[in-house]
Chain A
Amino acid sequence: MAAPAVKAARGWPVLALGVRNRLLRFPGLTQVRGSRYGPEYKDPQVDKEYYRKPLAELTEEEKYERELRKTQHIKAAPASKTSSVFEDPVISKFTNMIMKGGNKVLARSLMAQTLEAVKRKQFEKYHAASAEERTSIERNPYTIFHQALKNCEPVIGLVPILRGGHFYQVPVPLADRRRRFLAMKWMITECREKKHRRVLMPEKLSHELLEAFHNQGPVIKKKHDMHKMAEANRALAHYRWW
């Protein structure tokens, strides 16, 4: 988790970043971002299969873990996390990024309509294709979604670094979560801005996802542009110190 941000109340000095939140529970200091849980709090286990295992089948480690969890502090599970078999963390993250103004209902319905649109388009292609081509047509909207986002992830990114009064765009290897975030962000921005007023979001999103699945389309082009810029600024790579 990122270091918690702290807003000082009037009259109190701001403490340095990186201080543990336990020491900040003074009156007058409010925490703005970051987790309120201390390090001893464990993540909740929502997997039904974990609890369905009969006691006889557990190994020693698992039995120990179960006993330990009975006495540990456990964080509250967020409302968006379910023990449904159809739950997908990537889809949930994407839905949250589509959401505007906290309207999760709308975001979820848009996501569902997008997946349905992808499925129907692929079924149409499937029925129109011959027997040899049918084996190569993927009809599962979830595999298409995951593959499309994976295809859109950049390998290397650019970071502005201040040297001598100027900001230079330095090529930098990106962390996994940053790559996933960039892929999703580019996809959503592309669909929001570059569509006609009358075209609905699910239709545009499904079209872009299918194109990205086949390594074509504007989002893939953006990824390639990013790679080319990083290649062009190769000389500045030594500005990176980490």
Chain B
Amino acid sequence: MVCPQGFTASVTLTLVLLLPSMLTEWQLSVLVLLYTSPTCNEDENLSVSLAAICFPLKSLLCLLPFLYIFLVRIHHPGDSSLSTVFQIAAVMLTRTSRLVSGARRLDPGRLLHAGSQAPQSLAAPLDNQAPDDSPRAVSRTSEKDPARHGEQHEGLHYNIPLQDMRTLFPHSLPPRFSMQVKTFSEACLMVRKPALELLHYLKNTNFAHPAVRYVLYGEKGTGKTLSLCHVIHFCAKQDWLILHVPDAHLWVKSCRSLLPSTYNKQRLDQPAEASIWLKNFKTTNERFLSQIKVQEKYVWNKRESTEKGSPLGEVVEQGIMRVKNATDAVGVVLRELKGQSSLGGFRLLVAVDGVNALWGKTTLKREDKSLVAPEELALVHNLRKMVKNDWHGGTIVLTLSQTGSVFKPRKAYLPQELLGKEGFDALDPFIPILVSNYSPKEFESCIQYYLENSWLQHEKAHTEEGKKELLFLSNANPGQLERLCAHL
């Protein structure tokens, strides 16, 4: 069959694409053989494309054209395409064997839900997915270690054991998420792009350089706090020391007891908030408290003092027991950790949610009704020093939040708007990471997760119409979607 090259290629492609449903495999392979006769063309591209089309054939008959081409090429040893034919044959063998086993795991139901997921899973090597992934659970992955999360896990939910939740996040999750954890009896976080980006940066940090600051920003309800939780879980698994301030806004508003600071007369103490933070810090970093030793002597009052070289746990205990000294204990802990992280005994992660509270205004007043500026609060003052990048041996991950903020407009979400000039200059330079609404794939995955847990009980919510309406009403905003699905 002598025919022009381009024409043959297009004709064979169209024929083979259209005919598989009508012909059996035998007939297809015969057709392919006829077309790959040596007089027609010496084109590698055609053979490769034919190989690609023969993929779905579940038998080794698809190898026949290549064996034929291979034999033909042996008679024409001058051709350089021999090695490529070998490679193609080898790849063909491995891919057909994998596909024969992999094709059985896919079923039409999965393709209906997955949409864009299906071609990706066919194209990407199948052994990256965890081996015990059930084929129907498109929204979950069984990869529990955040260090191994990669782009193939994007949009999928992974499970955090409840024991880890209690140690890592004692009273420091967003209220709606903790309600969801309680209702479903499981804590599942979605793996999303901003968190993956952050994890990539954290894996490649150079601990000899000063601490890098990462700022997660975005509109309300897009998932900044939960991305921070994902990063904290990763660092906990990697054995970092975690300094987590769940909501800095709580320190600048509605404080019942403001005492003048014992350490510095101009500043104010907040015993309640400081003692709560110390308790949570102790729960999270139990094992570091005995390892780290203080490097100075601290005198609390006439009778109590902490000697040099005693473990950090003693300072924390002192703060919890003597609530009056709690703020100073927090200051001591922060100073010690900052000084000792450079020595390399541990890696420090400073995670602050709502960092724009540190540079805004407060709603607190003294007894003489004069307003308190944030720098007059000892806790805020010490935290500001922590967030400065003059130390090394760790990283600083921050989140901006308008939700709990005071005197900030509702629509403000950019770093410049929320931090103000003072805050921006203090945090400059930082790496901003935008957290946006769900992509279509993530939205599908979220809906699938709710359907699996039977959270969407309304009968119309299972239909396509219902999903379209949910997408329209929530605009793919994760917070809004969660609120909508709660009463449906």
| A→B interface (CB under 8 Å) | 84-86, 111-113, 115-116, 119-120, 123-124, 127, 139-142
| Cβ-defined contact, A113 with B487, below 8 A | yes
Q: How far is the CA of A140 from the CA of B459 in the complex (A)?
A: 9
Residues of B within 8 A of A142 (CB): 457-458
- Report the bound CA distance from A42 to B372 in whole Å: 64
- Closest approach, in angstroms, between the C-beta of A63 and any C-beta of chain B? 25
**CB-nearest residue of chain B to A88:** B458
Are B454 and A86 in contact, with the CB atoms below 8 A? no
Give a binary string over B452-466; 1 marks a CB under 8 Å from any A CB, 0 the rest.
001101111101011
| Bound Cα distance from A86 to B457, whole angstroms | 11
B461 and A119 contacting across the interface, CB-CB below 8 Å = no
Residues on the B chain within 8 Å of A85, using CB: 460, 463, 465-466, 469
Rounded to whole angstroms, the CA-CA distance of A86 and B466 in the bound complex is 8
Query: Could you list some 13 contacts between A and B, CB below 8 A?
Result: A84-B469, A85-B460, A85-B466, A86-B458, A86-B469, A86-B488, A112-B487, A115-B487, A119-B486, A123-B183, A127-B185, A140-B458, A142-B458
Q: Which label, helix, strand, loop or mixed, suits the secondary structure of the B interface?
A: helix
Chain B residues, Cβ within 8 Å of A120: 179, 183
**How far apart sit A124 and B181, CA to CA, in the bound complex (Å)?**
12
Selected from A123, A124, A139, A141, the residue in CB contact (under 8 A) with B487 is A141
Q: In chain B between 446 and 488, which residues have their CB closer than 8 angstroms to a CB of chain A?
A: 454-455, 457-461, 463, 465-466, 469, 486-488
The CA-CA distance from A67 to B164 in the complex, in Å, is 66
Instruction: Report the separation of the CA atoms of residues A19 and B169 in the bound assembly, to the nearest whole angstrom.
Output: 71
**Closest CB in chain B relative to A86 CB, distance in Å:** 6
Contacts of A111 in B (CB 8 A): 487
Question: B168: shortest Cβ distance to chain A, in Å?
Answer: 23
Q: Is the CB of A141 within 8 A of B469?
A: no
B457 interface neighbour in A113, A124, A127, A139, Cβ under 8 Å: A139
A111 to B488, alpha carbons, bound, how many Å?
Answer: 11
With A86-B466, A119-B487, A123-B183 as contacts: A141 and B457 at CB distance below 8 Å: yes
- Docked Cα-Cα span, A85 to B488, in Å, equals 11
Q: Which of B454, B458, B461, B486 contacts A112 (CB 8 A)?
A: B486
State in angstroms the CA–CA spacing of A85 and B471 once bound together: 13
A-B CB proximity, top 3 nearest: A112-B487, A140-B457, A115-B487
When distances are taken between beta carbons in the complex, the residues of chain B under 8 Å from A112 are: 486-487
- A139 — nearest CB in chain B belongs to which residue? B457
Q: Which residues of B contact A116 (CB under 8 A)?
A: 486-487
Min Cβ gap A173→B in Å is 33
B486 contacts across to A, CB distance below 8 A: 112, 116, 119
Q: Are A86 and B183 in contact (CB under 8 A)?
A: no
Give bound CA distance, A149 to B466, whole Å.
26
Restricting to B381-425, which residues have a CB under 8 Å from any CB of A?
Answer: none
Q: Whole-angstrom distance between the alpha carbons of A142 and B469 in the complex?
A: 18
Query: Chain B: which residue is nearest A119 at the CB level?
Result: B457
Please, which residues of chain A bring their CB within 8 A of the CB of B183?
120, 123-124
CA distance in complex: A133, B486 (Å)? 24
Measured CB to CB, the nearest residue on chain B to A114 is: B487
Shortest Cβ distance from residue A242 to the other chain B in the assembled complex, whole angstroms: 40
Beyond A86-B458, A113-B487, 20 additional pairs, beta carbon < 8 A: A85-B465, A85-B469, A86-B460, A86-B466, A86-B469, A111-B487, A112-B487, A115-B487, A116-B486, A119-B455, A119-B457, A119-B486, A120-B179, A123-B183, A124-B183, A127-B185, A140-B458, A140-B459, A141-B457, A142-B457
A112 to B483, CA, bound (A): 9
Q: Chain A residues with Cβ under 8 A from B465's Cβ?
A: 85
Distance A140 CA – B461 CA, assembled complex (angstroms): 12
Interface residues in B165-198 (C-beta closer than 8 Å to A): 179, 183-185
Digitize B115-128: 1 where CB-to-A-CB distance is under 8 Å, 0 elsewhere: 00000000000000
In the complex, which of the residues A113, A119, A127 has the most CB atoms of chain B within 10 Å of its own CB atom? A119
List the A side residues contacting B460 at CB < 8 Å: 85-86
Q: How far, in whole Å, are A115 and B483 apart by their CA atoms in the complex?
A: 12
Nearest residue (CB) in B for A113 is B487
Judging by beta carbons under 8 Å apart, are B461 and A86 in contact? yes
- What is the distance, in angstroms, from A84's C-beta to the closest C-beta of chain B? 6
> Contact between B488 and A139 (Cβ–Cβ < 8 Å)?
no
Chain B contacts of A139 at CB under 8 A? Answer: 454, 457
Complex-state Cα separation, A127 to B185, whole angstroms: 8
Kindly list chain A residues whose C-beta atoms are within 8 Å of the C-beta of B469.
84-86
Bound form: Cα–Cα A112–B487 in Å: 5
Nearest chain B residue, comparing its CB with the CB of A143? B457
Note all chain B residues with C-beta closer than 8 A to A84: 469
- Alpha-carbon distance A127/B465, docked complex (angstroms): 30
Q: Which of A86, A116, A120, A124 has the most CB of B within 10 A?
A: A86
**CB proximity of A133 to chain B, nearest CB, Å:** 16
Q: Please report the C-alpha to C-alpha distance between residue A124 and residue B184 in the assembled complex, in whole angstroms.
A: 9
Tell me, in angstroms, the Cα distance from A120 to B457 when the chains sit together. 12
